[in-house]
Structure 1
Amino acid sequence: MRRLLLLPLLLWCSLLFASEDSAYRFTQADILFLSRFSLDALPPPPAAPDNAVAEDPRAAALGHRLFFDARLSANGRVSCASCHQPQKYFTDGLPRSLGLKMTRRNAPTVLGASHSPWLFWDGRKDSLWSQALGPLLDPGEHGLDGAAVARVIHRHYRSEYRQLFGDSGDLDRLARAGRRLSDARRAARDRVLSRVGKVIMAYERRLQLRPARFDRFVAQLHRDSGDREALAALMSEEELAGMRLFVGRGNCASCHNGPLFTNYEFHNIGAPEPDVARVDLGRYAGVAALEEDAFTCLSRWSDAGQGDCAEMRFLKRQGPELVGAFKTPTLRNIAQTAPYMQAGQLATLEQVLAHYNAPTPPYYDREQHPSRPHFDILPLGLSDEQLGQVIAFLGTLTSPLPEDDPLWGEPEGL
């Protein structure tokens, strides 16, 4: 199972924390509990039976180049890295991203995305390879059609493509095709598209986070939980108070749990509606898109076997809890990846915590919503000091930028 169900432990551990006299005193049970949130507990990305080249280093090398190549856009100026900038932890710092046009939603980080069974805020894609195709084919983002993507690959990457997939016949056929495609050429186009997505996925699966201060603190607890000086050098008393609130009274960890601080699930927290004239149905619309998608784990372009694709085979298709629900984002590097929520409605962590502390119920328009949205949170009732402590703790989740990792930079020759 990819999801971590930690609520019973949270309640138990919060009681242990509350009984301690010293900010830097932790029982072995506390240390074991905190270890579940450490990057050391993060397993490798789950197997990807729908992508036969997911672990191929040649695919990752090609995907790395495609990720940064602005030739994969209608105006030659938009790449995946335009909205997923390494120096901003693969976000762009904008409320809504700017491709050929302004997008509807904020660009989530791709760091850790290989661990999630659903991609995008509404989960309308079930794999990283399918997700990569969404922006390429979106008229407002990269603005290409499938044949245009194939022509870029034919012109600039034909040799790498042939070495990886054994032939370049699809590329050659599409390079000679006009605007109207035969059935055979449409199949060739979609095969090329799926392979383009799969190599980008192979690259993204290799992006790794460096340990943040929180991770180093947990590691120090394992080495010597009694060395107060070493512990204090890593996290302050204010940050530790915020950590205890995070896993205890604040109940943040009921959704933001595990090494990536997310349960990968969908919730309606009543975030302000960006456009009341065009409400965002979130997961409800994402499920509808999944059922129409030609590039899912169950599609002909997937490499999965008959017994794979459990998420799609058991997809939850209806219920008020889907309406206006959005995927729980990772909190890794959250202090450096403002603004927040699905359309960047909240500019600061102070605004985010204020919303959780005294939330407004979800906007409801009976003309636009299929049912009244389910509301998933309760007021926290924390003091201003306590809210500041939680924000201080979130700052300990920032990883250093890996300046020596070539995968975090533009490849040579572009």
Structure 2
Amino acid sequence: MKRLLPLLVAWCSLAFAGGEEIYRFTPSDIHFLERFSLQALPPLPPAPDNGVADDPRAAALGHRLFFDTRLSANGQVACASCHQPQKYFTDGLPRSRALGITRRNAPTILGAGHSPWLFWDGRKDSLWSQALGPLQDPGEHGLAPLEVAQLIRRYYRGEFEQVFGDSAGLDRLPKRSGGRLSRRQRAVLNRVLSRVGKSIMAYERRLQLRPARFDRFVAQLQRDSGDRGALATLMTEGEVAGMRLFMGRANCASCHNGPLFTNYEFHNIGAPEPDPAQVDLGRYGGVAALEKDGFTCLSPWSDAGAEDCLEMRFLKKQGPELVGAFKTPTLRNVAHTAPYMQSGQLATLEQVLAHYNNPTPPYYDREQHPSRPHFDILPLGLSEEQMGQVIAFLETLTSPLSEDDPLWRAPE
């Protein structure tokens, strides 16, 4: 954020340009916008906790697992049930539906490999650990750990051995559920589970976004910022005005920054409380879950070394800013991934902008909250026209669906 402030100041010099000046950009403006383009997206960060994160064989296995409905108690739920490619790997529901109805909705997995935390509350520190949560959740896939291992042994044994070099002790596990496992069998089971998650992670890391109109607009600015005609074919005056508001007066870029339009951090923006009788503690609850999780970067099932896992080693565990705070979502494809907020409380972008324009302080219940939640936003004071312009800009962040990419559909 400190590196962003000088550029924000420079950008604000043209924040209210209009008419013929709407398409006029200084070198500083262009340099600022370049930071939001997909061209500036860095390579995926290393995954020291997953030794097969970039193994194409693991990705192929993970691809099959991701779309396989057999990995559920009723044989009808797959990862792709809630992360549908045609909906940019979301499901379009306020709260996802699988064996039951989840507490929160399904965020996109596009770009998730760049985030140090997963889920709305950040209760997982890797994509491989995240994949294990829904598999075992009774309201989602509903499988017991041993059932996952039995399915792997039955349907994926050969591929599993090709990726990991051995069967991970699958033959040491009971062929039927029931009975107590020995300590050694529990260790084998955890190793199998971690490898299932690591394979799914290898697949998800390979999913890519295609340039949106905004990215093509920035590329045109880099080629010839004075070609007003070419710029106008990519973004309308209203969309450019919305972009200037987004980056300047509306202050959206303070949290939604970088090529994926997220700072990967947690904020309480006072979104309506989905269930006042059972408040959602957000990051505060996520941190508590991380401390109990047996599949973090620090766990025996991680491939990381002693010098890795800095996020977990320096995990922030206390503070009112954690209470009711949720991860800043990416705004890539946001116009087509409604509804919004962690439980789909807001159905449209118009409702989202109206909330930011005149926000309500966070809900607070002395009996349920550990402390009064911190409030992270201020009223914007935008006109109806200006809010419409910001929404128009958000439309330009929509990437074409990668329907010709085999990773975006079920394997044959």
Q: Which residue of 2 aligns with 1:391?
A: 391
- Match in the other structure for 1:367: 367
Please say if residues 7 and 28 of structure 2, whose CA atoms lie closer than 8 Å, have aligned partners that are also in contact.
no
Where does structure 2 lack aligned partners over 5 or more consecutive residues? none
The total of aligned residue pairs comes to 410
The answer on whether the counterparts of 1:4 and 1:263 sit within 8 Å (CA) in structure 2 is no
Give the Å deviation of 1:167.
1.1
Q: Which residue of 2 aligns with 1:12?
A: 10
The answer to whether structure 1 residue 199 and structure 2 residue 199 are counterparts is yes
Identity %: 79
How far apart, CA to CA, are the structure 2 residues paired with 1:330 and 1:132? 19
* Mapping 1:136-147, distance limit 5 Å: 136-147=135-146
Q: Which amino acid aligns with 2:8?
A: L
User: What's the TM-score, normalizing by structure 2?
Assistant: 0.98
Quote the Cα distance in structure 2 between the aligned partners of 1:23 and 1:378: 27
Give the residue type in structure 2 aligned to 1:395. Answer: E
Residue in structure 1 matched with residue 354 of structure 2 by the alignment: 354
Q: CA deviation at 1:12?
A: 2.1
Q: Distance in 2 between matches of 1:220 and 1:263?
A: 26
Q: Structure 1's 93 and 19: CA in aligned 2 closer, same or farther, altered over 3 A? A: closer
Residues of 2 paired with 1:270 and 1:347: CA distance?
16
Tell whether the 8 Å contact from 1:150 to 1:175 is kept in structure 2 after alignment: no
Residue 172 of structure 2 is matched in structure 1 by: 173
Q: Which amino acid aligns with 2:238?
A: E
What is the one-letter code of the residue matched to 2:334?
I
Distance 2:95 2:3 in 1: 32
Is 2:61 the counterpart of 1:62?
A: yes
Find the counterpart in structure 2 of residue 182 from structure 1: 182
Instruction: Give distance in 2, aligned partners of 1:169 and 1:40.
Output: 40
Which piece of structure 1 moves more, 278-287 or 400-409? 400-409
Q: Output the CA distance in 2 between the equivalents of 1:370 and 1:9.
A: 38
Partner of residue 82, structure 2: 83
Residue 114 in structure 1 maps to residue 108 in structure 2:
no
Is the Cα contact below 8 Å between 1:262 and 1:331 reproduced in 2?
Answer: yes
Deviations for 1:76-134, whole angstroms, at most 9, x for unmatched residues? 00000000000000000000000100000010000000000000000000000000000
**Residue 178 of structure 1: CA displacement?**
4.5
Q: 1:169 to 1:55 in 2, by over 3 A?
A: closer
Indicate the residue corresponding to 1:378 in structure 2.
Answer: 378
Q: What are the within-5 Å matches in structure 2 for residues 2-401 of structure 1?
A: 5-18=3-16, 22-176=21-175, 178-179=177-178, 180-401=180-401
Look up the SS of the partner of 2:169 in the other structure: helix
Contact 1:4 1:258 in 2 (8 A): no
In the alignment, the residues of structure 2 paired with residue 266 and residue 366 of structure 1 have an alpha-carbon distance, to the nearest angstrom, of 22
1:384 CA displacement: 0.2
Q: Distance in 2 between matches of 1:4 and 1:85?
A: 36
Q: Cα deviation per residue 1:139-163 (whole Å; 9 max; x = unaligned)? A: 1100001110011110010000011
**Cα deviation, residue 8, structure 1:** 3.0
Does the 8 A contact of 2:256 with 2:330 survive in 1?
yes
What is the CA-CA distance between 1:7 and the residue it aligns to?
Answer: 2.8
Distance in structure 2 (CA, Å) of the matches to 1:205 and 1:93: 22
**Structure 1 unaligned regions, length at least 5:** none
- Secondary structure class of the residue paired with 1:22: helix
| CA apart distance, 1:168 | 1.1
Q: CA deviation at 1:321?
A: 0.3
**Aligned-partner residue type, residue 356 of structure 1:** Y
Distance 1:339 1:267, change over 3 A: same
Contact 1:83 1:98 in 2 (8 A): yes
Q: State the SS of the aligned residue for 2:207.
A: coil
